[in-house]
Amino acid sequence: MKCIDVAGGTGDIALRILDYAREKYAERDTSVDVVDINASMLKEGEKNFRRTMYYRTPQIAFYEGNAQELSKEQFPDNTYDLYTIAFGIRNCTSIPDVLKEAHRVLKPGGVFACLEFSKVNNPILSMLYDQYSFTMIPLLGTILAGDRESYQYLVESIRKFPPQPEFAQMIRDAGFKTGADEDGGAWSDLWGGVACMHKAVKV
């Protein structure tokens, strides 16, 4: 299986994919191309992989690239069986362009999987989560990292990201097929919707 992990510079998702294929299926033909716009993150990912059995094998490769406009030479049409992007798509300036590129590089029958912060649907939990995120997260950023602005951006970017049904429709608009618009269908809520896994298939 050929996979692409976008906005995955540290290599965490890629390592999980490779370990899963090896441990569950004794499969060593799975490969992951890690793509990130941040060269420093890619260097960190390569550094992390030096401690693994996959380093300097055909199973892993790192590329600098923009999720909204992947190089057609490096990433041809109909190439990948699986496209993953975790906690990265909300930082892109054009989500539709990212989805169109994902559709382009996947083979027919290929799977799109996006893990992202999302909308908490329980009103009480949502209120508590809002209070915590808008007050405590920026405060912790100030105390622990001396960087309130970045943590404030994190909270605001989460709030601006489309809720589950709206994002599912955007995925379909890019040409994908999803399940029904419900938890367990087009998406799976985690921790009450604090995060969410969207899955779709290129038909």
DSSP run (H or E) holding 12: helix 12-25
The answer to whether residue 171 scores a pLDDT higher than 80 is yes
Q: pTM of the entire structure?
A: 0.89
Integer angstrom CA distances of residue 31 from 35, 97, 193: 13, 25, 31
Give the model confidence (pLDDT) of 38-76 as tens digits. Answer: 999 999 999 999 999 999 999 999 999 999 999 999 999
The DSSP code for 110 is: E
3 band by pLDDT with thresholds 50, 70 and 90: very high
CA-based torsion, 46, 49, 51, 56: positive or negative? negative
159 band by pLDDT with thresholds 50, 70 and 90: confident
182 band by pLDDT with thresholds 50, 70 and 90: very high
Give the model confidence (pLDDT) of 14-42 as tens digits. Answer: 999 999 999 999 999 999 999 999 999 99
The answer to whether residue 147 scores a pLDDT higher than 70 is no
**Are the beta carbons of 83 and 178 closer than 8 angstroms?**
no
In the prediction, which pLDDT does 13 show? 97
